[in-house]
Structure formats: structure tokens, C-alpha cells
């Protein structure tokens, strides 16, 4: 059994729960036929697909897999990139929902935090 810090255990749990919720909400928005307003398709698809990576990263962190911190950092960087492209879309007059702005800021904050905890946990071994 892998020994992990409490903060790494919490980060792993948050990643899995966040991933499952992301898959459910993204799937409902993409395939549920609900009117979601002025969605930005590339953001919606990225978030939905990233949900699977969230779960994988969380499970990897929980198991102490050596690749999990790098995946967590990759998720944070990919989220920052998509958020940047989304902001460009907004600044150039593209339509969007304000909740997307908040959701992307939340996702970036969560994954920056998880990646930080994961990378520190790797150095502590």
C-alpha cells in the first residue's frame, strides 16, 4: 500500500470527484439536448474530454503512480491554454456565457492547486 500525505489524498479525491462531475455536466450539455445558451463549443468539448483525464490523474495520484504529477501539470497547462484562447474569443467579440468565465477560472485554480500538491508530493519521496 502506498503511503501518501493527507494533502495528496485530498487532491486525489478532489480530482476524481471533479472529473466525474465534469463528465456528467459536460455530457448533459453536449448530449442531453438542454439549451445551454451561448456555449463556446471548443471549451465545452475540452472540458468534457478533460473530465476523463481528471479521473485518471486522481486515480494515479491516489495510487502513487509516477506519471500522475506530470498529468496533473499537463491538465493545468492545457486548461490555462484553453482559458487563454477562450479569453481571446471573448475579447474579439465572440458570444459566451458568463458562467463559462467563472467555470474556467475555477478549473484553472483547482488544477493549479492539484498540480502543485502533486509535484511537491513527488519531491518529498
Handedness of CA 79, 82, 84, 89 (dihedral sign): negative
Q: How many CA atoms lie within 13 A of 89 on its CB side?
A: 19
pLDDT at 2: 53
pLDDT at 1: 42
Torsion angles phi and psi, residue 65, rounded to 5: -65, 135
pLDDT at 36: 78
Residue 61's nearest CA partner among 20, 123, 106, 114 is: 114
Residues 6+ apart with CB under 8 A from 107: 47, 50, 79, 83
Please list the rounded mean pLDDT of every run of 10 residues in the chain (125 residues).
78 98 93 82 97 98 96 98 98 94 97 97 67
Cell readout for 16 is 476524481
Amino acid at each position: 500500500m502506498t503511503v501518501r500525505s493527507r494533502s495528496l489524498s485530498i487532491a486525489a479525491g478532489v480530482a476524481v470527484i471533479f472529473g466525474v462531475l465534469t463528465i456528467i455536466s459536460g455530457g448533459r450539455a453536449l448530449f442531453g439536448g438542454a439549451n445551454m445558451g451561448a456555449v463556446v463549443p471548443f471549451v465545452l468539448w475540452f472540458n468534457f474530454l478533460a473530465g476523463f483525464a481528471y479521473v485518471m490523474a486522481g486515480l494515479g495520484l491516489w495510487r502513487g503512480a509516477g506519471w500522475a504529477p506530470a498529468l496533473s501539470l499537463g491538465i493545468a497547462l492545457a486548461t490555462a491554454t484553453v482559458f487563454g484562447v477562450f479569453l481571446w474569443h471573448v475579447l474579439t467579440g465572440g458570444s459566451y456565457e458568463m458562467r463559462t468565465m467563472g467555470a474556467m477560472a475555477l478549473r484553472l485554480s483547482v488544477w493549479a492547486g492539484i498540480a502543485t500538491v502533486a509535484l511537491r508530493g513527488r519531491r518529498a519521496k
